[in-house]
Structure 1
Amino acid sequence: MAFNSSRFRSMKRSIRRLQNAQQQPMSRPFAETDPLEQSSESEQIITVHLEQNSSEHMPSKTLASPSFNKADVTMQQLIKSGREGMLYKAKMTHGTIRGHTMFTCKIYKDAAKHEQVQTEVSIMRNLTTHLNLLQLVDWDITDVPYMLIMENAEYGSLRTFLRLNKERLCKDAELQHLFTIALYHIAQALDHLHSKMKPIPFRWYPPEYFKHDFYEFKGDVWAFGIVIWEMQTFGTVPYPDLKTSEEVVRYICAGHKIRDPEECRPEMLQMMRDCWQEPYIMRPSFLDIVKVLEKILENDRDYVNIESCPFIVAVESEDRD
Structure 2
Amino acid sequence: EHAGVRLPTHGRVYQKGHELVLANIAESDAGVYTCHAANLAGQRRQDVNITVATVPSWLKKPQDSQLEEGKPGYLDCQTQATPKPTVVWYRNQMLISEDSRFEVFLAKAQGLEEGVAETLVLVKSLQSKDEQQQLDFRRELEMFGKLNHANVVRLLGLCREAEPHYMVLEYVDLGDLKQFLRISKSKDEKLKSQPLSTKQKVALCTQVALGMEHLSNNRFVHKDLAARNCLVSAQRQVKVSALGLSKDVYNSEYYHFRQAWVPLRWMSPEAILEGDFSTKSDVWAFGVLMWEVFTHGEMPHGGQADDEVLADLQAGKARLPQPEGCPSKLYRLMQRCWALSPKDRPSFSEIASALGDSPVDSKP
- For Structure 1 versus Structure 2, the TM-score category normalised by the shorter chain is 0.5 to 0.7
Select the residue among 256, 264, 267 that pairs with 2:318: 256
Partner amino acid, structure 1, of 2:107: K
Mapping of residues 1-321 of structure 1, within 5 Å: 41-42=87-88, 44-45=90-91, 78-79=95-96, 84-88=101-105, 90-92=106-108, 96=110, 98-99=112-113, 100-113=118-131, 114=134, 116-128=136-148, 130-167=149-186, 168=192, 175-194=197-216, 195-198=220-223, 201-244=263-306, 246-254=307-315, 255-296=317-358, 299-300=359-360
Question: How far 1:214 moved relative to its partner?
Answer: 2.8
Q: Determine if contact 2:100/2:128 at 8 Å carries over to the other structure.
A: no
Q: Determine if contact 2:184/2:194 at 8 Å carries over to the other structure.
A: no
Higher relative contact order (CA 8 A, sep 6+): 1
How far apart, CA to CA, are the structure 2 residues paired with 1:123 and 1:240? 32
Q: Determine if contact 2:301/2:309 at 8 Å carries over to the other structure.
A: yes
How far apart, CA to CA, are the structure 2 residues paired with 1:84 and 1:110? 5
- Alpha-carbon distance change, 117 to 144 in structure 1, aligned in 2, over 3 angstroms: same
Secondary structure of the 2:110 match is coil
Judging by fraction of residues, say which structure has more strand: 2
Question: How far 1:170 moved relative to its partner?
Answer: 6.3
How far apart, CA to CA, are the structure 2 residues paired with 1:146 and 1:230? 33
Which residues of structure 2 form unaligned runs of 5+?
1-84, 187-191, 225-261
How far apart, CA to CA, are the structure 2 residues paired with 1:196 and 1:98? 28
Question: How far 1:291 moved relative to its partner?
Answer: 1.5
Q: Determine if contact 1:206/1:223 at 8 Å carries over to the other structure.
A: yes
- Report the equivalent of 1:313: none
Secondary structure of the 1:101 match is strand
Question: How far 1:84 moved relative to its partner?
Answer: 4.2
Question: How far 1:81 moved relative to its partner?
Answer: 5.8
Query: CA offsets per residue over residues 139-181 of structure 1, 9 Å max, x none?
Result: 222333322111112111110111122134666xx71101111
How far apart, CA to CA, are the structure 2 residues paired with 1:40 and 1:166? 23
- Report the equivalent of 1:16: none
- Alpha-carbon distance change, 122 to 281 in structure 1, aligned in 2, over 3 angstroms: closer
- Alpha-carbon distance change, 163 to 196 in structure 1, aligned in 2, over 3 angstroms: same
Q: Determine if contact 2:292/2:299 at 8 Å carries over to the other structure.
A: yes
Larger radius of gyration: 2
How far apart, CA to CA, are the structure 2 residues paired with 1:263 and 1:40? 34
Query: CA offsets per residue over residues 91-115 of structure 1, 9 Å max, x none?
Result: 23xx625244311111222335455
Judging by fraction of residues, say which structure has more helix: 1
How far apart, CA to CA, are the structure 1 residues paired with 2:328 and 2:100? 36
Secondary structure of the 2:304 match is coil
- Alpha-carbon distance change, 108 to 41 in structure 1, aligned in 2, over 3 angstroms: farther
| RMSD after superposition | 3.1
Question: How far 1:82 moved relative to its partner?
Answer: 6.8
- Alpha-carbon distance change, 197 to 219 in structure 1, aligned in 2, over 3 angstroms: same
Partner amino acid, structure 2, of 1:163: R
- Alpha-carbon distance change, 101 to 83 in structure 1, aligned in 2, over 3 angstroms: same
How far apart, CA to CA, are the structure 1 residues paired with 2:313 and 2:96? 29
Question: How far 1:211 moved relative to its partner?
Answer: 4.0
Partner amino acid, structure 2, of 1:259: P
Q: Determine if contact 1:42/1:77 at 8 Å carries over to the other structure.
A: no
How far apart, CA to CA, are the structure 1 residues paired with 2:145 and 2:182? 32
Which residues of structure 1 form unaligned runs of 5+?
1-38, 47-75, 310-321
Q: TM-score, normalised by structure 1?
A: 0.62
How far apart, CA to CA, are the structure 1 residues paired with 2:104 and 2:312? 31
Question: How far 1:263 moved relative to its partner?
Answer: 1.9
Query: CA offsets per residue over residues 56-82 of structure 1, 9 Å max, x none?
Result: xxxxxxxxxxxxxxxxxxxx9535567
